[in-house]
Amino acid sequence: MTDAVATPTVVGPGTRIRGELTGDDPVDLGGTLEGDSRVTALYRVRAGGRVTGNVTAGSLVVEGELSGATLAAGKVEIGATARVRADIRARTVAIAEGAFFDGQVHMEGRDAEGPEGPVRFREKRKGR
C-alpha cells in the first residue's frame, strides 16, 4: 500500500494545519492536522505526524498519531509506531504488533463467518 503513482502532497513536520484537508492526490503528513480529511488516494500519517479528526481515504497508512470518531478507507494499515483512537471502517485492516489501537473495526464487504480468519503478521520493514 505504500507505493503511490502520483507525487504526494507533503505536509512537513514543522507544519500545523487547522481546517479540512481534501484532495485526489496522495498525501504524506509529517506535521499536525486539526480537522477532517477526505483523500481519494493514499493518505500516510508519518511517525511524528498527528491528525485529530475524521479521515476518509482510498487507503490509509498510520505510523504516527490519529484520533477521531471514524477512519474509513478501502485499506487501513496501522504500523508498529502508531497510536490510533478511532473506529475503523475498511475492507482490509492490518495492525502491526506494538501499535496502540483503541476503537472498533468494522470489516466491510467481507463475510465475517467465512473461512478466512484474521491474518497475523510481524512488521518486517527496516527501521520500523
Would residue 53 be called left, alpha or beta, if left means φ above 0 and alpha means ψ between -120 and 50 degrees?
Answer: left
Is residue 25 one of the residues assigned to a domain? yes
CA distance 112 to 15: 41
Is residue 111 one of the residues assigned to a domain? no
Range of the domain at 63: 9-105
Is residue 110 one of the residues assigned to a domain? no
For residue 16, pLDDT over 70 is answered with yes
pTM for the model stands at 0.82
Is residue 24 one of the residues assigned to a domain? yes
Is residue 4 one of the residues assigned to a domain? no
Determine the residue type at 1: M
Structural domains of the chain, count: 1
Is residue 29 one of the residues assigned to a domain? yes
Is residue 79 one of the residues assigned to a domain? yes
Is residue 112 one of the residues assigned to a domain? no
> What are the pLDDT digits (tens) for 76-115?
999 999 999 999 999 999 999 999 999 999 988 755 544 4
Instruction: Extract the C-alpha cell encoding 80.
Output: 508498529
> What are the pLDDT digits (tens) for 26-51?
999 999 999 999 999 999 999 999 99
